[in-house]
Amino acid sequence: MKSTEYNYDIVRSFVNWSVLWGLVAVLVGVIVSFQMVDPRLNFPPYLTFGRLRPIHTNAGIYGWGVGVIFATFIYMVQRLCRTPLWSPKLARFQLWFFNATIIASAVTLLMGYTTSKEYHEMEWPIDVMVVILWVVFALNIIMTIIKRREEHMYISLWYMMASLVGVAILYLVNAAAVPVSLFKSYSAFAGTNDANVHWWFGHNAVAMALTAPPLAMFYYFLPKSTGVPIYSHRLSIIAFWSLLFMYLWTGAHHLLWTPVPDWIQTLAMGFSVMLIAPSWGSVINGYLSMNGQWHQMRENYLVKYLILGITFYGLQTIQGPMQAIRTFSAFIHYTDWVPAHIHMGTMGWVSMICFASIYYLVPRIYGKKLFSIPLANLQFWLILVGQLTWSFSLWIAGVLQAGMWTAMNPDGSLTYTFMETMVEMYPYWWIRSIGGLIYFVGVVVFIYNLVMTVRHGEIASTEAAAEGRA
Amino acid sequence: MWEKKPILLLLLATAAILVGTIITVVLPFAWVNTEADRIETVTPYTALQQEGRDIYIREGCNNCHTQTVRPLVAEVLRYGDYSKSGEFVYDRPFLWGSKRTGPDLARLGGKYPDAWHYKHMASPRAMVPKTNMPDYGWLSANQLDPTMIKRKMDVLGFPYTSDELYSLADKNEMDALVAYMQKLGSDIPWRNAAATTIVGNLKNPYADSDHSTLEEWEPLYEENCEACHGEHFEGDIGPELDGASMEDTELFEIIYNGVPDNGMPPFAGLGADKVWQVVTFVKYYNQGEDH
């Protein structure tokens, strides 16, 4: 079947917009990080840390993350099913509705219309928009799968479908609220129940939006980039089903030592540790797929991104379960260690995979050779160094902070006041901001490279572009 | 087989997702927020407090402040009694947070007098010089909207009176936020239970310190006392300090245990040693070089 029948127009649009929202997410992140070191950078009422930080996180998750999910899923589903997209019109609607949703989110969050629930701050009218968006998207993907011309469904399709149902269930339940007005609602759940429902959502949004989709991309783009298949099909089956089953039990590890019933906390702790197995199932499957191909780490920038990405996934899924253990959580929770952990996942694992996927896609969907591989390599080092600077500074800060919070004098009193511990954070927060800036420069290089590819890239047929790895 | 049947795969995936969900998320509704964890003294928010809570949400205070004290030694010492499930039954949404860029606020109610909060919100750095908290003085310029607040109270099903709503027209957002701050964690009488009892005879170990030693303790005064009692003991939110008129032991008890009814917080958290240093500084610093 000729690739010309595939619908690449819509993939292009989603790539372009998601990259723009990604830039916004990183830029706002850098701004709020400077607000933390100097409060004079807050400009009330709109531009304060309290209102901007949700814009950073939601632009990252829904603008960049979900935007790339839309782009890559629509590309992968057509290739893996050997059939054009079920409804290009619906996809076009989805694109504009997606952008409308992101813009509406940003504006309402700036105005202070927020539910306060982390990663789900948008008020109920935007929840309705997100639900419509997801239903339209899921319908298009599932219908394309149903009318596929390739009987066997590849691993990536499993993860895609799991993500489609998972996100739907999580988002709907956690959005339950009673509206007071167009811009204000109260949660349908109260207190401890609300906390438990919310962190079931919070943690599994990470599973269904920021783990399953990047794994779908990894399982597709790694073999495509290296030219050799995934090492073990059986391992990927075990990893898939056990990941899907175990993730949902673990939300309460965000609530250790809170009034949430102990047995829920204990289950969350146990399942979090068990999750190491399916997570590392995918990591090891990725590594073993590189047997005899490790030289490609040197020759093929795509492989470098993908393998570093899956490595950060491996580190993330060791560190996460460690934090989910009561004793360690008692020490580290609520400190700056936690954002360091999250940013290894988002800047390291998820974004590395997204960058690789887009680098793979752009030459093929535009029919042009990548403008500059050296620039792609430069970006790799910028985002790697930026992210490591970011995370290491706050890991150190978090341990210091935790140590000072718990330090006690021989007479049983606390050694430090809260302000004494906060003052110690400032140097680390500065280093973090510098890390963020380096990462931001990396993203700018990325966008420059893409723009130059589209504008001035050497024209090539998609087949030839596909050969143009090196 | 499921690898060739998309609908089957979707159903199996849904089932896999629902098992953990039902056990850890649906099932707990049978225990949480039932009679079992109800606390008699916990009351719904008043109209003013609830509006303050909504302002707290609007400004994203939960991005930097948590509202749950864990049952850990250092945490209970720093913030107060650990949080109980029954204290949160009227919280929609919960505001436990996930990051303490600033301190936990679950037990803030009654810790400081209202005047402290007004001054601190207007300019946090005037009270706590090195804090990174933004200024919220602008909230004082925004009047409350009783009509909207009535709708909110109706949706929440919280009791209110028409007089209460009527009085809101004269209040601003800062009044509401401070009222909310003072409600936090104060429904259960934990302060009485947590009050320390001083046993044995008190004796100031630093009574004979010379003036240069006293100067070393000035930062302690600056960090903990100056915001309310002034740079030169002249008083502001708290009274003027005339240390000489009190016994060392009397001063120690006031600083260590606080005087909650007068808005003086306890400083037992500093430890007896540092409290004695503050006592000595307050009492003798102004008495000049001779001491």
Q: What are the structural domains, with CATH classification, of chain B?
A: 11-37 (no CATH), 47-194 (1.10.760.10), 211-287 (1.10.760.10)
Mutate: best of A36, A122, A171, A414, partner B, most B CBs <10 A: A414
> How high is the pLDDT of residue B260?
77
Name the DSSP letter for residue B92: S
Query: Cβ of A138 under 8 Å from any chain B Cβ?
Result: no
Query: Is B138:B100 a contact under the CB 8 Å cutoff?
Result: no
Tell me how far apart the alpha carbons of residues A293 and A214 are, in angstroms, rounded to a whole number: 22
> How high is the pLDDT of residue A466?
53
With beta carbons under 8 A apart, name residues in chain A contacting B101.
36, 422
Instruction: Please tell me the distance in Å from A38's CA to the nearest CA on chain B.
Output: 6
Query: Is B210:B291 a contact under the CB 8 Å cutoff?
Result: yes
Name residue A414's beta-bridge partners: A408
Mean predicted lDDT score pLDDT of chain B: 92
B74 has pLDDT over 50: yes
**Residue type at position B283:** K
Residues sharing a CB contact under 8 Å with residue B109, sequence separation 6 or more, in sequence order: B181, B182, B183, B184, B185, B186
**Residue type at position A358:** I
Instruction: Please tell me the distance in Å from B261's CA to the nearest CA on chain A.
Output: 23
Name residue A177's beta-bridge partners: A187
Which of B29, B37, B60 minimises the CB distance to A54? B60
Q: Which regions of chain A are under pLDDT 50?
A: 1-4, 467-470
Q: Which tokens is A425 given?
A: 């954070």
Query: Cβ of A196 under 8 Å from any chain B Cβ?
Result: yes
> How high is the pLDDT of residue A462?
54
Are the beta carbons of A194 and B24 separated by less than 8 Å?
A: no
Q: Which tokens is A3 given?
A: 């690739």
B287 has pLDDT over 80: no
Higher pLDDT, B197 or B104: B104
- For A202, half-sphere exposure in the C-beta direction (CA atoms, 13 angstrom radius) is 20
Which of B70, B84, B133 minimises the CB distance to A330? B70
**pLDDT cut 70: percent of chain B above it:** 99
Chain B residue nearest residue A147, CA to CA? B6
* Residue given tokens 């949700």 in the structure block: A54
Strand residues in A17-91 grouped as ranges (E): none
Which of A116, A151, A267 minimises the CB distance to B95? A116
Which of A191, A248, A408 minimises the CB distance to B20? A248
| Domain boundaries along the sequence of chain A | 3-467
Q: Which CATH class is domain A3-467?
A: mainly alpha
> How high is the pLDDT of residue B211?
85
Query: Cβ of A184 under 8 Å from any chain B Cβ?
Result: yes
pLDDT band at residue B56 under the 50/70/90 scheme: very high
Give the rounded distance of the alpha carbon of B66 from its chain centre.
10
pLDDT band at residue B261 under the 50/70/90 scheme: confident
pLDDT band at residue B246 under the 50/70/90 scheme: confident
Mutate: best of B96, B220, B275, partner A, most A CBs <10 A: B96
Nearest to A68 by CA among A171, A166, A163: A163
Which of A169, A250, A261 minimises the CB distance to B28? A261
With beta carbons under 8 A apart, name residues in chain B contacting A153.
3-4, 6, 9
> How high is the pLDDT of residue B202?
86
Are the beta carbons of A257 and B70 separated by less than 8 Å?
A: yes
> How high is the pLDDT of residue B178?
98
Tell me how far apart the alpha carbons of residues A467 and A460 are, in angstroms, rounded to a whole number: 10
Q: Give pLDDT tens digits for B1-27.
A: 899 999 999 999 999 999 999 999 999
Residues 201-230 in A contacting B (C-alpha not used; CB under 8 Å)? none
